[in-house]
Each structure stands twice: as C-alpha cells, then as structure tokens.
C-alpha cells in the first residue's frame, strides 16, 4: 500500500473509540486503496483499522435506531436505514436482534457455503440439530422429519408443493407435467400469494390453484374445502395437495388444521401448512393450541425471521417423510458431491436443495436459541400477544377507529380503519368506501414524509384499504402503541 | 439487566483491544442474558461491549485465515472456519474480500428486505444501477435489460428457463404445462446440473433436457446442437431454449456463443447463457473475447460471488427484454405492492421475483465496485489468469503429473492427474484407471486431515478422478501454487 495512507491510518487507530464518525472515516480512507487491505502484504493493520471504523459506524447506527426520539426513517435521505426502530411496524419481520446480528456478522466473516460438510462443517451440523428441534416442536415422531433452510417463505412453500407433487407422481421429475393428469391444489382465499406463484413456476398453472372460502375471521371453511375437492373431481381434475395457512398475512388467521387434516386423509391429499408467520407461536405454551393439527401435516413452512425476530433471512421447509427432499431434487452431480469422500456424506445437503451454493442462515438462529432459550422466545412472543390485545382494547373504545374483526386478536395482527370526522356522518355504503379507501394511503404517506412511524395498509376482499398493525418488533412498547394511535389521529383528522 | 453483569462488562470495556480472546468473552457473558441487550432499557453499553467483543474475535479470525502459516482447516476441530486461506482452492468462490465483508456487516445491521423501495430504498436504487452496469458490460442496447439478484446461480438459471418458457407460451402461467406441446431444451454435456434441476422443478422433466456433445476442450459443438434440434423436431418435440455455458464448472470451457446464437436465431429459440462462473471475465479487456456473442443472449446468469470474489451470495439473472420478469412472476398481491403508494413504484422489485422477502445481496457488490473500480476487478482477474498459466506450465514440465487438457488454459481451471511412481509403469487402460481413480480422493483426504490445502477432484465423462485447480482466491500467490504441487507429491508418492 501507499506509505502515506498507512500512516494516516496508524495515527487514528488508537483513537478509534472516540474519534470515528463517518466523515472522519471517509477522510482517512481517501488515501487508501481497496488493494491495500488484506490479503495484501502488510495489510493487517489497515484492515483492522478499517473494520473497526465500520463497526463504529454500525454501533452508532444501532444505538440510533433503537432510540425512540429518532425518526423511523427519513424518506428523503434514505441512507438512514430503519428496521430496528420501535415504531417500524410495517412488516411481519421487523426489529433488530443484537445476538442475531452478531451471528450474521460471524457468518459473513466465515463466508462459507452450506453445501457440503467439508466446507461448512459446523453450520451443517447446527442445521441438523435445529431442524430436529423444530420437528419435535411440531410434534413429529422420532423417525420423522427432513428439511432445509431456504431463501424465504415463498421458496419454502414452493418446496412443499414440489415435494407433494413428486410424492404422488415421482415420474414428474424425468418426464415433466405432460404425462400427469390435470392436477389441482387448494389454498384459502386468505393464503399467501406464493402458493399461486409456486403453481406458475412448477408448471401447474395458477388456474389450477383453487381458492377456498374463508369465514369472517379469515379461516378456511372445512366444508367449503371438501365441496371444492368433490367439485374438482367431478370436473375430471385430480386434487393432490392442500395448503393450509397458520397465521395469514393480513388478518393473522389460523386455518382449522385438524379438520383440514381429516379431509386430506379422506382424500389422500398432501397437507402443506404455511406457518411462515404463525410457526413461532408454537413456542408459546399459552398460544400453541392455535396450531393444533400441525403435527399431521406432510410439510410445513416456518420462518424464524418473522415472529422469532431472526435477522433476514431465515426460513425453514420441513418435510415429515424422510428421503423425499433428496429423491426429488438430487441430480447426482458427481463433481460436487462425491460419494467416495472419506467422511459421512449424510451431512452434505447440496443434493436436497433446488439451489447449488446456499447462504448460511442457520448460525444466527442457533446463536439466538442458545442465548434466549425456548423460554426467551416464548416470553417475547407472549409480550407481542399482550400488546396486540392492548391495542385491540384501546381501539375498541375509540369511536373514530373501527376494527376489521370485532374480536380479541388470535395473533399479533390487528386490522382497523381510521375515520376522519368528516366521514363519520356519511352513511355506510359505496360513497363512504370510496373516501375511506384513500385515508390509509394518505396517512401512511404523511408518516413516511415525517418519518414518525411505519405501518402497512391494504384492501382485502370487499373491504377497502385498512391499516394492519402487527407486533413482531422486540423494541415496541405500549407507549409506542399509544403514540401510533395519536399520530394517526393527528395526521388523519383533517383528511 | 442484572446489576452484577453490568459491572463485569463495564470493567472490561476499556480493555477491549488487548484483552478479548474468546475464552474471556465467554466468561464475561456468562452473567449476562440476551434480554439485557438493546432494545432493553439501559442495554446500550452492554450491547456496544458485546458487539466489540464479537468484532475482536472476528478480526482475530480474519488475520489468522490470511496467514499462510495457519492450517487451511482443522478437520477435527471444525470451529476454525476457512475460506479466506490462500490455499483454499476448493470452490469457484473462495477468499474473503474485506470490503465485501464490511458491506455484508452493514447489510446485516440494516436487516432490510429487498422487496419495496420504501423499506430498502438505497439498496433498491443500487441494484438498479449495478444491473444497468452489467447490461452495458454484456453489450445490450440502451433500452434493453432487466434483472434481479437471486439466491445463487441455480436459481438464476431457473429464472432464465422460466422466462424462456413464459415468453414462448405465456398461457403457461395460468394453465400449466398440460396445455403445451412436449417442450425440450438443450445444454452441453459439460453444462451445470442446475439446468436439469430447473427442468425438474418447472415440470418440464429432466428427460426433456437434451445434452449436446462437447469437443475435447469441453465446448459445445454447434453442429451437434443443430443436429439435436432437428432430431427433436422430427420426433415431434418442440425445442424452446438453449443454455450455453460460459465457464464450465470442471474444465472452465466457454461454449462458442456466436455460433450458438446463430442457431438460436435460425430456430427461434431462447438463448440463455450460464456465465455464473465465467461472467467476471467480461471485466478483463484481455480475456473478454472468450464470451463474444453473449450480447446476443436473451438471458444471462452471472455470479459476482465467484470470479469477482464478492462474499456469498451474489448472483444476478439478467434478461434482455424488459418487462418479461414482471409479467411472468407478478401475482398482484395488492396487500404488499399497493399501486396507490405515493412514490414511484417502479423501484418495487417484489413482483418480479419468485421470492417474497429477498436478502440484500447488492450492497457488498456496490461497495466493492466503488472501492476497486472495474479496473481493480480486472487486475485481480488477470492475475488469476496468470497464475493458471503459471500452474499449467509448471505441471507440463513434471512427468508425474498429467494435464487433462494439454493446452494453455482458457480460464482459471486447470485439471490434472497425479501419478504416484508405482502407477507410471502400468500401461494406460482399465487397470491403471482403476488405481488412478483412487489417488485424488486419498490425497485430498490426507490434506483435509492435515489441514494443509484444499482442492477439489471429480471424474468427468470417461475420465477417472482428477484434481481441479481453480484460481479465484485473491490471497493465492505463486508460492502457494508451488507448495500445492509439492504437497501433492509428498502425500501421493507412496500411494
């Protein structure tokens, strides 16, 4: 490296703790080149100094995002990123877990790749251990359970449907869809859109995803499912799979899994449970009954990056029957997965996946589980449920808010409309809906501009745009909930 | 948090630099709980202290992996991870780029999700900018180019074939494969197995992937491709796509893209180029001619996490025609991607992907590109090519090594056998092959045990197990190459 920049760095190194705001870093780095860092000869000190500066910036950022007095985001200056803030309530995954963060830093530093044991030995073993824990929590038997961490819930759902199809029609792998009958699958009208996406990708077609009606809480109606199955059969279609939802995206609904499992057994259909959002609730002894029947599923999607607060991304696909994942996905690429390796190749997961290289998503989860224990996750999740109940009760008392579901929340989703004074006197009907439809987007846009809070909205079925509050951010407190309500009133009252 | 542990941490904080080996950290943390960290009230100091300890461990690890005197890995104690080491030569992606690492740490800290601009504003813009740069480097026109970063090359190849099928048969999305004719695609026998995997997933079937013969260098033979296309048509099959390989996994071969493009034009077939490994060579003015014709591709897979050394994972799928990605993959999930948002929703990429949430893989690449410039990448890649040439020349002179291809390497792959003295006198033939087949696995196993170097081997076609040396690790020097050769001789001479 150039002599001069070495000295610049050396001289600041001792003051790293007190003298390391971004501006300063940029000045000091201006004389250095990327090629001066390790593995450059003599790059050790510069590398250390550079990384300590980076960390200092990151620590500063972390402290700031957890500070309620800071903006959730500054929309015009998007370099201040956002998700850790207590009032970031926009997504199912929010908040920043410090232990999980440390896990992610370590993973990045190891820069390993999940595919074989010789490359990622510890990580592969950790994945095996945690998957086993997840099978147990679901309630599968000792000899059951297979799985993988995948790049997100949509891909996990795709795996579920892919394996369902393979189990019923193993010839699909070689011969393709053209030799199969017209196969169809079922999901509730409140299910995640990734089920349709998977059907499109897999060559099944979105027309062959049959949407089953839900009750007013957003739960699939078992009698409707059975009716749809019988109808499809009469039309000459061949049902092969039902995707039940445990924790729907908008309303947070849990489909009745026991009833659905009965129907699947009766008709010999694969039961996939999309518990991407709701899976974490299995860790709460108070609330896990809402997923009763999940142990009868053939496959489950469960995203620890949602309710459990693991940094993005961390999604598991769990398959009850062992061996199917590999049978479906292996291509025997001898050059990657040599069976003549001199160790137990059972830990090589490359042949089970639809990927080749695979990012290590396991370590952060493992570290968090070690640090918090199951009881730590449980306490956190129970607190979200308490907050949801609190929020529901507060809204219920206010006459300028209206709950989408007038019942105590089953999950941490609470959906509601805000009615500005001028709308309260318009009678219910098309005209009022036309106006109400515009309220949530306007309030949210104003929040984004001012950076005070972040909450999502959407229409749903025949219901016009409503807000969806969702608790999955460990930094959120009752005071933040109160603040959000005040803020919506402040921004919305003159609309 | 518990008072006592606060003090433990406070008292060590000042000595972070000198007194922070893992054992020590564990002792200090033993009194603290995960719940004491931020967002816990008063968690600020503990969080800072904890993360600084983590960083200290990581810095120590980084320095060690770059040290030639350390083991590549200690296979019996796999907690020492490995990829940065100069003699880790096992995979197409190896080495640890410090700038890329800093980018990954920042990404983890932001913990954002790629799907909409409001959540990941900077990252979404960076993705747009870098994709545009990649279209330009490929040579597409100003109005051409669309793309995404995906979770790895296999998924990128899947995207290519998915979009190819959609372009030809848009009805597939709704109606599925059963309404299509029997479609087939082509890839060379040296192409990546992910093409077959994609065919299985997409419902096309692996039998409908036709493998085209290669010449002795591993390049697809254009006349064979055309013959296969005509044969398929005669059999009543419907060709729709050719996947050409730019940088094959084992031999590092480049298919003749211009000839393949001519054939694709003649038969109206989609041309996908799998340049996962070879794409980086476009950045070298000396070597980019090897990919001449890539500008005529309809889609390209290019993994910056391979030759360009970006931390895992970082893979791009690039589609020449704009709009197809979205048309193929969008499901209009109104609750996520509201068109009535008050900003330009063109930056929302969620509707283009087969994922929902998407990990941010762009920032590390952006930061590396800023830090190194295209010329920095070029210099690094040219150096790998020089090392490959050097390695080839050294081996050529040695009579106990035999090159799989006796020609100057076109890429950084150099494939070779080692012949222990006792094999040199067995005449060429089945018996010798039987013995030779066992040599590479034994030498590699010994290397793993001793942790001295890491290199891959595989059989290929009628060739028994040979070593594949591949240069993509910035820490590797000529002396490491010399060392590797000596090491193979030392471990192999008595086998």
Q: Does residue A298 have a pLDDT over 90?
A: yes
Q: Supply the pLDDT for residue A77.
A: 34
Of the candidates A82, A338, A357, the beta carbon closest to that of B458 is on: A338
Complex ipTM value: 0.86
Q: Worst-scoring range by mean pLDDT, A201-205, B216-220, B279-283, B363-367?
A: B363-367
For chain A, positions 387-446, list CB contacts with chain B under 8 A: 438, 441-442, 445
Q: What is the DSSP letter of A458?
A: E
**Mean pLDDT computed over B136-156:** 96
For the domain made up of B113-359, give the CATH fold. Answer: 3.40.640
Please report which residue ranges of B14-82 form alpha helices under DSSP H.
22-29, 44-65
Q: Say yes or no for a CB contact (<8 Å) between B176 and A208.
A: yes
Q: Does residue B4 have a pLDDT over 60?
A: no
**Mean pLDDT computed over A458-486:** 90
**Gap from B128 CA to chain A (nearest CA, Å):** 15
More confident residue, B1 or A485: A485
Domain covering B370-492 in this structure, CATH number: 3.90.1150.170
Q: Does residue A102 have a pLDDT over 70?
A: yes
pLDDT tens column, B393-404: 999 999 999 999
Q: Say yes or no for a CB contact (<8 Å) between A108 and B86.
A: no
Those residues whose C-beta lies under 8 Å from the C-beta of residue A487, and which sit 6 or more positions away, are A447, A452, A453
* pLDDT confidence tier of residue B80, bands split at 50, 70 and 90: very low
**Mean pLDDT computed over A63-83:** 51
Those residues whose C-beta lies under 8 Å from the C-beta of residue B459, and which sit 6 or more positions away, are A334, A335, B437, B465, B466
Distance of alpha carbon B109 from alpha carbon A55, whole angstroms: 10
More confident residue, B261 or B86: B261
Distance of alpha carbon A71 from alpha carbon A67, whole angstroms: 9
**Gap from A241 CA to chain B (nearest CA, Å):** 16
pLDDT tens column, B438-467: 999 999 988 878 877 778 899 988 899 999
Which of A391-405, B51-65, B331-345 shows the highest mean pLDDT?
A: A391-405
The partner residues of A413 in beta bridges, in order of sequence, read: A470
Q: Worst-scoring range by mean pLDDT, A27-41, A249-263, B28-42, B70-84?
A: B70-84
pLDDT tens column, B159-188: 999 999 999 999 999 999 988 999 999 999
Q: Worst-scoring range by mean pLDDT, A119-123, A199-203, B45-49, B461-465?
A: A119-123
* 3-state DSSP assignment of residue A488: helix
Q: Say yes or no for a CB contact (<8 Å) between B98 and A312.
A: no
**Mean pLDDT computed over A201-207:** 97
Write out the H or E segment, with its range, that includes residue A395: helix A362-397
Q: Locate CATH 3.40.640.10 in chain A.
A: 113-359
Q: Supply the pLDDT for residue B97.
A: 75
Distance of alpha carbon B301 from alpha carbon B153, whole angstroms: 7
Write down the mean pLDDT value for chain B. Answer: 84
* pLDDT confidence tier of residue A29, bands split at 50, 70 and 90: low
pLDDT tens column, B316-326: 999 999 999 99
Those residues whose C-beta lies under 8 Å from the C-beta of residue B329, and which sit 6 or more positions away, are A197, A200, B351, B352, B353, B354
Q: Say yes or no for a CB contact (<8 Å) between B91 and A119.
A: yes
pLDDT tens column, A231-285: 999 999 999 999 999 999 999 999 999 999 999 999 999 999 999 999 999 999 9
Q: Supply the pLDDT for residue A84.
A: 54
Q: What are phi and psi of A457, to 5 degrees?
A: -145, 165
Q: Does residue A163 have a pLDDT over 60?
A: yes
Q: Supply the pLDDT for residue A278.
A: 98
Q: Which of B365, B366, B341, B358 is nearest to B112 (CA)?
A: B358
For A134-193, give the DSSP string: HHHHHT--TT--EEEEESSHHHHHHHHHHHHHHHH-TTHHHH-GGGS--EEEEEETTS-T
pLDDT tens column, B13-43: 333 344 343 444 443 555 667 677 777 777 7
Distance of alpha carbon B463 from alpha carbon B457, whole angstroms: 12
Chain A and chain B share a number of CB contacts under 8 A equal to 394
Q: Does A268 touch chain B (CB under 8 A)?
A: no
* pLDDT confidence tier of residue B105, bands split at 50, 70 and 90: confident
Q: Supply the pLDDT for residue B109.
A: 77
* Residue at token pair 């082509």: B186
For the domain made up of A66-99+371-495, give the CATH fold. Answer: 3.90.1150
Q: Supply the pLDDT for residue B331.
A: 84
More confident residue, A95 or B406: B406
In the sheet where A315-319 sits, what is the strand order? A146-150, A315-319, A299-302, A270-274, A238-245, A183-188, A209-212
Q: Worst-scoring range by mean pLDDT, A55-59, A360-364, B156-160, B392-396?
A: A55-59
Q: Say yes or no for a CB contact (<8 Å) between A78 and B122.
A: yes
**Gap from A47 CA to chain B (nearest CA, Å):** 7
pLDDT tens column, B464-495: 999 999 999 888 889 889 999 999 999 999 98
Q: Could you tell me what percentage of chain A is helix, strand and coil, using 3-state DSSP and rounding each to the nearest 5?
A: 45, 15, 40
* Residue at token pair 């950045």: B283
Q: Supply the pLDDT for residue A255.
A: 98
Q: Worst-scoring range by mean pLDDT, A345-354, B69-78, B294-303?
A: B69-78
**Mean pLDDT computed over B264-269:** 98
Q: Worst-scoring range by mean pLDDT, A64-68, B162-166, B212-216?
A: A64-68
Those residues whose C-beta lies under 8 Å from the C-beta of residue A343, and which sit 6 or more positions away, are A117, A118, B448
Q: Does A345 touch chain B (CB under 8 A)?
A: no
Contact between B350 and B356 (Cβ < 8 Å): yes
Write out the H or E segment, with its range, that includes residue B168: helix B153-168
Q: Locate CATH 3.90.1150.170 in chain A.
A: 66-99+371-495
Distance of alpha carbon A372 from alpha carbon B170, whole angstroms: 49
Q: Supply the pLDDT for residue A10.
A: 32
Q: Supply the pLDDT for residue A88.
A: 63
Q: Does the N-terminal peptide bond of residue A39 adopt cis geometry, omega within 30 degrees of 0?
A: yes
The partner residues of A455 in beta bridges, in order of sequence, read: A89
* 3-state DSSP assignment of residue A303: coil
The structure tokens listed for B323 are 């709009």
Q: Locate CATH 3.90.1150.170 in chain B.
A: 370-492
Q: Supply the pLDDT for residue A340.
A: 59
Distance of alpha carbon B227 from alpha carbon B78, whole angstroms: 50
* pLDDT confidence tier of residue B114, bands split at 50, 70 and 90: low
Of the candidates B39, B44, B111, the beta carbon closest to that of A474 is on: B39
Write out the H or E segment, with its range, that includes residue B245: strand B238-245
Of the candidates B175, B359, B372, the beta carbon closest to that of A151 is on: B359
The structure tokens listed for B345 are 């929703």
Distance of alpha carbon A30 from alpha carbon A286, whole angstroms: 56
**Mean pLDDT computed over A386-391:** 96
Instruction: Find the helix packing angle between B478-492 and B362-397, rounded to 10°.
Output: 60
For A357-382, give the DSSP string: S----HHHHHHHHHHHHHHHHHHHHH
Which of A32-41, A166-175, A371-380 shows the highest mean pLDDT?
A: A166-175
Q: Supply the pLDDT for residue B69.
A: 63
Q: Does B101 touch chain A (CB under 8 A)?
A: yes
**Mean pLDDT computed over A68-89:** 49
Q: Supply the pLDDT for residue B6.
A: 31
Q: Does residue A316 have a pLDDT over 60?
A: yes
Q: What is the DSSP letter of B310?
A: P
Q: Worst-scoring range by mean pLDDT, A165-169, B341-345, B416-420?
A: B341-345
Write down the mean pLDDT value for chain A. Answer: 84
Q: Supply the pLDDT for residue A36.
A: 78
Q: Which of A226, A67, A93 is nearest to A153 (CA)?
A: A93
**Gap from A386 CA to chain B (nearest CA, Å):** 18
The partner residues of B184 in beta bridges, in order of sequence, read: B239
More confident residue, B227 or A9: B227
Q: Supply the pLDDT for residue B51.
A: 76
- CA dihedral sign of residues B393, B394, B399, B401: negative
Provide the phi-psi class of B231: left if phi over 0, else alpha when psi is between -120 and 50, else beta: alpha
Length of chain B counted residue by residue: 495
Which residues of chain A make contact with B218, given a CB cutoff of 8 A? none
Find the residue in A nearest to B72 (Cα). A119
Provide, rounded to the nearest whole percent, the portion of chain A with pLDDT above 90.
Answer: 59
Length of chain A counted residue by residue: 495
For chain B, positions 14-33, list CB contacts with chain A under 8 A: 33
More confident residue, B380 or B67: B380
**Residue B127: is it exposed, middle or buried by C-beta count within 10 angstroms (0-12/13-18/19+)?**
buried
**Mean pLDDT computed over B363-380:** 91
């Amino acid at each position: 490296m150039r002599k001069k920049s070495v000295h610049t760095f050396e001289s600041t190194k001792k003051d790293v703790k007190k003298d390391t705001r971004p501006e300063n870093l940029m000045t000091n780095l201006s004389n250095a080149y990327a090629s001066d860092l390790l593995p450059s000869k003599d790059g050790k000190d510069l590398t250390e100094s550079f990384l300590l500066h980076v960390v200092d910036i990151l620590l500063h950022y972390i402290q700031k995002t957890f500070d309620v007095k800071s903006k959730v985001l500054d929309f015009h200056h998007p370099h201040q990123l956002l998700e850790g803030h207590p009032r970031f309530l926009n997504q199912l995954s929010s908040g920043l877990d410090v232990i999980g963060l440390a896990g992610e830093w370590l993973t990045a530093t190891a820069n390993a790749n999940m595919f074989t044991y010789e490359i990622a030995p510890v990580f592969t073993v950790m994945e095996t251990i945690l998957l086993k824990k997840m099978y147990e929590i679901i309630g599968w038997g000792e000899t059951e359970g297979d799985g993988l961490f995948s790049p997100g819930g949509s891909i996990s759902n795709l795996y579920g449907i892919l394996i369902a199809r393979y189990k019923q029609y193993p010839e699909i792998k070689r011969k393709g869809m053209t030799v199969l009958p017209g196969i169809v699958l079922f999901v509730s009208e409140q299910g995640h859109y990734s089920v349709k996406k998977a059907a499109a990708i897999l060559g099944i077609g979105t027309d062959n995803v049959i949407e089953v009606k839900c009750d007013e809480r957003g739960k699939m109606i078992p009698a409707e499912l059975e009716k749809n199955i019988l109808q499809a059969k009469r039309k000459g279609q061949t049902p092969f799979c039902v995707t039940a939802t445990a924790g729907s995206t908008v309303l947070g609904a849990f489909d009745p899994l026991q009833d659905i499992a009965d129907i699947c057994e009766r008709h010999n259909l694969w039961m996939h449970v999309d518990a991407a959002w709701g899976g974490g609730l299995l860790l709460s002894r108070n609330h896990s009954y809402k997923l009763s029947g999940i142990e009868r599923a053939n496959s489950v999607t469960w995203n620890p990056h949602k309710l459990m607060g693991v940094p993005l991304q961390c999604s598991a696909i769990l398959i009850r029957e062992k061996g199917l994942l590999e049978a479906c996905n292996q291509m025997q690429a001898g050059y990657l997965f040599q069976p003549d390796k001199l160790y137990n190749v059972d830990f090589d997961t490359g042949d089970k996946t639809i990927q080749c290289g695979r990012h290590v998503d396991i370590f952060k989860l493992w570290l968090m589980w070690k640090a918090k224990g199951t009881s730590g996750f449980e306490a956190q999740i129970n607190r979200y449920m308490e907050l949801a109940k609190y929020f529901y009760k507060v809204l219920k008392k206010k006459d300028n808010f209206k709950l989408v579901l007038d019942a105590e929340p089953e999950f941490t989703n609470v959906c509601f409309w805000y009615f500005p004074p001028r709308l309260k006197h318009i009678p219910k009907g098309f005209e009022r809906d036309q106006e109400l439809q515009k309220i949530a987007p306007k309030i949210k846009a104003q929040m984004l501009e001012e950076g005070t809070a972040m909450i999502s909205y959407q229409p749903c079925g025949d219901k016009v745009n409503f807000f969806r509050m969702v608790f999955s951010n460990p930094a959120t407190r009752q005071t933040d909930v109160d603040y959000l309500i005040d803020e919506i009133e402040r921004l919305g009252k003159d609309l």
